[in-house]
Amino acid sequence: MSHLTDLPAWAAIPVCILLLLGSGITLIGSLGLIRLKTFYGRLHAPTLGASAGIILICLASMITFAVLQNRWIVHEILIIVFVVVTTPVTLMLLGQSALYRDRIEENDGVPRKAAGQQTDTTGMDI
Amino acid sequence: MLLILVLAPFAGSLAAICIPTQKGTAAAWLAGSIALLCLVISAGLYTVISSGTPLRYDAAWLPELGLNLTLRMDGFAWMFASLVAAIGLLVVIYARYYMSASDPVPRFFALFLAFMGAMLGVVLSGNLILLAIFWELTSIISFLLIGYWHHNANARDGARMALTVTGTGGLCMFVGLMLIGHIVGSYDLDVVLSSGNVIRDHPLYTTVLILILLGVLTKSAQFPFHFWLPHAMAAPTPVSAYLHSATLVKAGVFLLTRLWPVMAGTDEWFWIVGLAGLTTLLLGAYFAIFQQDLKGLLAYSTISHLGLITVLLSLGSPLAAVAAIFHTMNHATFKASLFMAAGIIDHETGTRDMRRLSGLFRYMPITATLAMVASASMAGVPLLNGFLSKEMFFAEAIETHKYNILDTLTPYVATIASMFAVTYSIRFIHSVFFGPPPQDLPKVPHEPPHWMLAPIYFLVFSCLVVGVIPALTIGPFLHTAVQSVLGIATPVYSLAVWHGWNLPLFMSLIALVCGVGLFLVMKPYLTTSIEGPPFFRRLEGQRIFERVLVTLSWKWARSIEMRAGTRRLQPQMRILVAVALVAAAVTLLLQGFKPAAIAFRSIDPAFALIWLIGMICAIGAAYQAKFHRLAALVLLGGAGLVTCLTFVWLSAPDLAATQLLVEIVTTVLILLGLRWLPKRIENPDDPELMTISTRLRRLRDLATAVFAGIGMMLISYTVMTRELPETISSYFLERAYSEGGGTNVVNVILVDFRGFDTLGEIAVLCIVALTVFALLLRFRPATESLETPEQQRVQNAFDDDHPDRKKGDSIAEYLLVPSVIMRWMFPVIGMLAAFLFFRGHDLPGGGFAAGIAMSIAFILQYMAGGTRWVEERLRIHPLRWMAIGLLVATATGLGSWLFGYPFLTSHAQYASLPVLGKIPLATAILFDLGVFALVLGATVLILIALAHQSVRAPRAQMRAAKMAAKENA
């Protein structure tokens, strides 16, 4: 869009590279979400976008507007921090509930809790 | 002066209501002095009035609608106003001694004064609409007065009946008066009175007549609406004395006389009014004979006498109108005194039943004498005022006005009714005051306090004086009143007592003699008979009325509710959508609506892709809504995100930010609500469930949805592709900074230019939140979702099994990391909200967005720690927040008044603070603060309503278990 054309070449090139890298990584993560077979596998895929992808894209944004407005732009750091802090919480909750469900339904391929932590004699630990 | 006359009673009423309940005497003094003031004012105005020109007071109220505060006093109004004030004064004196100290006496006098004010308003209003307003006021206040002893079921029923009947009539009359205003082109009474021919010749005349007569006849208790009056006897006697003599029921006659010059004289008038009047005259008198209740007898006699006045007015001759006005006054005097006497008897003996009363003359000779004179006047005995107007009535009855059967019948009916009047008058006196001494009365009778008798003295004295020397006493006043009604048509009439041996006198004599004879014949029957007249006893108006009421308000309402109503949400929604669809389609097709041609041009592929995703999400959400609610909700979130992106794409950051926040809150709230929905059907494709009717129903719903959707799309597309007309958006853009002091135009519009809209909107939000809260408070979830979810049960069981664990430990362990993060987010989100709030005036953000952001912080806390945890630690008072928000916003708006600017004018200034530098400070930010607090409160209130459901649910569960146990047992 229009901002890119205003950007001097020395800044435009790293911005483009960062953007492409970031969106590429996010795309890979999204593809993984579709392609991976099990839920636990899938759980990992979108983290690519939520970590590396977001960092790279935010960096690109920082450079762009810092150059354009000729001042330090730090808002994006906040974005990075919050996304990096909060996304794992979601994934953790998802993972835990999936595990919980699988254990209740006694599905195959679900690890039991480690022997030391086991508190339930039936083995159906929760 | 006129204004004081009307307003003084109302002001006195307000003052009286403030008097403490025990200070009954103070209230009486107040009421008495107000009544005296009114009397003095109207007496003072007589010299002005008697010259013949009406006195007017005009104040513009809604001049555009022809509604002005016009008060107008001519001779007739003067006569009525004086009557109202004078009898009011007497009744106040009487009531001071009648009301017992245990009653809330100030309330009585407050109502009494208000009623007097309303009645004076009716009499004095010079504008038809104003008249209707005061008319309704008399209905309402009489309702309160009749129901004064509201612990008594009879009083409540009587009051309700009076209100229903007179209120309905009043409504009809209001329509009639508006029609008159339409015909004449003005609501001003002077204009109306001078355009009688226009009204009489208008095609709507009959309609107007019937409507107005409905009002008049119900108010004056004319047949067939007479039945409410006897039941209104449950009121305290001073009220009855006042309502029956000078006020409530006379209001109908008053209006009839008032409109007499413009409406009377036609055949319709003669037939309707005459028939109603004659029937009432006869039936009222007949019923009165058979009453055993003293006040009941007087009530029916009132009905009969009003019938007499109505008949006189129906005749359409000026002389009859004179008689009507004269009789109105006479009736007021003797009836008020009779009611007071009946009240004294009731007060001193404890009963009003004529079968139990007898021989009271030896206990209260003064009362007895006074009552005898008054009832002689009621019976039409010569040398009393009742005789004079009755003679005039007879004279008019003999006179032939129209050649039809009704007119021919009138003299006979009049004589018979008069005969009945003699009978019930004698009965009243004889059964109460003569005969053997009474047995086992509740109290030992004796004369009442002297002041209680004083009003009766006065009234009876005036009966006598008017009866003996009419021309010298009432003559001039009557003349003024008559002249103001009849104008140049005022006939020559004579008020002499003796007109020689003529037919009316013979009729009187016949009535007197036959009346006495009838009484002697019926005496044995009457002393033992039950309440009510023979033959008609079963045909009780009240019962018919009750039956009609029950049918209307209960049976029919129920059946309509049964047929047209449903408690299920789905049919309601279906009907709503279908009606909207049909309404829109019909109007658009009739107007020749052509949807704009859909053109695909300059589509940005990326944008189109986003929209494709959004559409897929939306359709997916609809598809999954029934059988997989969670998936539908997730998809809904997707569609919402696309909307957000669209706003960003189209450069509407404010909308985008708000939309995003709203999206979050709604999704979370719906998620919380999902738990309480009934369980989904496990196997939707079960062939047993998929009957043909199910398929058809689904097909119909699908069709409705598709059509509604396509219709919406077509309409919005057509609207959006239109050429933009000249709008005021450019104005807003230009003035946002110079006048609103902000660079964020959206926010400036919200809090400044359109501040009033926003105020209304947040008020609506407030109401919505309260409604949701109220609904959820009464919400009882489906039985299958009542019990604790499986997970919780398993976890709780696990915790219970292990002695070292407390309930809730498992869930706390699972949520350890998330809850820590969520708790830490609280200050951060708070900061974000503050940021959004303060930048709002210049950059995207604002009170609304900030409020929602802040509420997200609260939602997170509830999710992380649970309801109880949060509420132990945070003081959450959404209702107070909402109230504060609304108050702050309103107060900000009001603040501009202090500086002499219109409501919600804002003032912008930059303030320099240390550290932060220059920050914009408009008064609008205070307004925005109100918005913030209200939005926060509303959202959190809904959240709490949902959250508390789970706290409440265990209790409901326990109840359900108990019920089940009971059933099993």
Query: How far apart are alpha carbons B69 and B503 in whole angstroms?
Result: 48
Angle at B816 (CA atoms; ends B815, B818), nearest 5 degrees: 65
State the SS3 of B852-911: HHHHHHHHHHHHHHCHHHHHHHCCCCHHHHHHHHHHHHHHHHHHHHHCCCCCCCCCEEEE
Residue A31 has pLDDT above 80, yes or no: yes
What percent of chain B is predicted at pLDDT more than 70? 88
Q: Domain limits of chain A?
A: 2-108
Same domain as B662, residue B600: yes
**A106-110, B5-9, B135-139: least confident range:** A106-110
Query: How far apart are alpha carbons B836 and B451 in whole angstroms?
Result: 76
Residue B194 has pLDDT above 90, yes or no: no
Separation in Å, CA of A14 to nearest CA in chain B: 23
Residue A121 has pLDDT above 60, yes or no: no
The pLDDT of residue A23 is 93
The pLDDT of residue A122 is 43
Contact partners, residue B887, CB within 8 Å, separation at least 6: B930
Separation in Å, CA of B794 to nearest CA in chain A: 9
CB contact under 8 A, A119 and B818: no
Query: How far apart are alpha carbons B189 and B72 in whole angstroms?
Result: 8
Residues of B in contact with A86 (CB under 8 A): 821, 825
The pLDDT of residue A116 is 44
pLDDT digits (tens, 9 = 90+) for B670-718: 888 887 777 766 666 666 667 788 788 888 888 888 888 888 888 888 8
Query: How far apart are alpha carbons B129 and B303 in whole angstroms?
Result: 27
Query: How far apart are alpha carbons B340 and B308 in whole angstroms?
Result: 22
Query: How far apart are alpha carbons B365 and B373 in whole angstroms?
Result: 12
A118 touches chain B (CB under 8 A): no
A30 burial type by CB count under 10 A (0-12 exposed, 13-18 middle, 19+ buried): middle
CB contact under 8 A, A100 and B828: no
Same domain as B286, residue B183: no
When pLDDT is averaged across residues B562-589 and rounded to a whole number, the result is 83
Residues of A in contact with B798 (CB under 8 A): 120, 126
Q: How confident is the model at residue A117 (pLDDT cuts 50, 70, 90)?
A: very low
The pLDDT of residue B912 is 59
Restricting to A residues 3-62, those with a Cβ less than 8 Å away from any Cβ of B are none
Within a 13 Å sphere around the CA of B741, how many CA atoms are in the beta-carbon half? 16
Contact partners, residue B939, CB within 8 Å, separation at least 6: B665, B769, B851, B852, B855, B858
Helix (H) or strand (E) holding B966: helix B923-968
Residue B331 has pLDDT above 80, yes or no: yes
Which of residues A17 and B263 earns the better pLDDT score? A17
Mutation target to probe the A interface, by most A beta carbons within 10 A, among B791, B809, B819 is B791
Helix (H) or strand (E) holding B24: helix B24-49
Residue B141 within a domain: yes
Instruction: Give me chain B's average pLDDT, please.
Output: 81
Structural domain total, chain B? 4
Rounded to a whole number of angstroms, the distance between the first and last alpha carbons of chain A is 52
The pLDDT of residue B783 is 67
The pLDDT of residue B405 is 74
Q: Encode B535-550: b = buried (16+ Cβ within 10 Å), e = exposed.
A: eeeeeebeeebeeeee
Q: How confident is the model at residue A124 (pLDDT cuts 50, 70, 90)?
A: very low
Q: How confident is the model at residue A1 (pLDDT cuts 50, 70, 90)?
A: very low
Residue B957 has pLDDT above 60, yes or no: yes
Residue B518 has pLDDT above 80, yes or no: yes
Same domain as B50, residue B33: yes
Torsion sign across C-alpha atoms B790, B792, B797, B798: positive
Q: How confident is the model at residue A17 (pLDDT cuts 50, 70, 90)?
A: very high
pLDDT digits (tens, 9 = 90+) for A74-104: 888 888 888 888 888 888 888 888 887 787 7
Closest CA relative to residue B717, chosen from B847, B841, B594, B616: B594
Helix (H) or strand (E) holding A101: helix A75-105
**A80-84, B19-23, B337-341, B556-560: least confident range:** B19-23
Q: How confident is the model at residue B902 (pLDDT cuts 50, 70, 90)?
A: low
Separation in Å, CA of A110 to nearest CA in chain B: 18
Choose the final residue of a domain: B241, B263, B285: B263
Residue B538 has pLDDT above 70, yes or no: no
Same domain as B313, residue B206: no
| Closest CB to A126 among B810, B822, B825 | B810
Same domain as B803, residue B748: yes
Residue range of the domain that includes B922: 743-969
pTM of the model: 0.65
pLDDT digits (tens, 9 = 90+) for B274-317: 888 888 888 888 888 888 888 888 888 888 888 888 888 888 78
Query: How far apart are alpha carbons B160 and B146 in whole angstroms?
Result: 9
Same domain as B714, residue B594: yes
Choose the final residue of a domain: B248, B263, B278: B263
B922 burial type by CB count under 10 A (0-12 exposed, 13-18 middle, 19+ buried): buried
Restricting to B residues 795-814, those with a Cβ less than 8 Å away from any Cβ of A are 795, 798, 802, 810, 814
DSSP B783: G
Same domain as B72, residue B199: yes
pLDDT digits (tens, 9 = 90+) for B819-865: 888 888 889 889 888 888 887 767 777 788 889 889 888 888 888 87
B821 touches chain A (CB under 8 A): yes
Restricting to B residues 776-795, those with a Cβ less than 8 Å away from any Cβ of A are 791, 794-795
Closest CA relative to residue B376, chosen from B463, B312, B302, B462: B463
pLDDT digits (tens, 9 = 90+) for B62-71: 777 767 788 8
Contact partners, residue B349, CB within 8 Å, separation at least 6: B357, B360, B438, B441, B442, B443, B445
Same domain as B404, residue B298: yes
Most confident range (mean pLDDT) of A114-118, B166-170, B407-411, B494-498 is B166-170
Same domain as B426, residue B280: yes
A85 touches chain B (CB under 8 A): yes
Q: How confident is the model at residue A3 (pLDDT cuts 50, 70, 90)?
A: low
Contact partners, residue B72, CB within 8 Å, separation at least 6: B2, B54, B55, B56, B57, B124, B125, B126, B189, B190
pLDDT digits (tens, 9 = 90+) for B427-477: 888 888 887 877 777 777 778 888 888 888 888 888 888 888 887 777 788
Same domain as B672, residue B580: yes
Query: How far apart are alpha carbons B292 and B428 in whole angstroms?
Result: 9
Same domain as B269, residue B242: no
CB contact under 8 A, A89 and B821: yes
The pLDDT of residue B241 is 86
Q: How many residue pairs bridge chain A and chain B with CB atoms within 8 Å of each other? A: 22
Choose the final residue of a domain: B458, B492, B522: B522
Residues of B in contact with A100 (CB under 8 A): 791, 814
Residues of A in contact with B821 (CB under 8 A): 85-86, 89
Closest CA relative to residue B247, chosen from B339, B356, B382, B345: B339
The token pair that represents B749 in the structure block: 């519009």
Helix (H) or strand (E) holding B67: strand B67-73
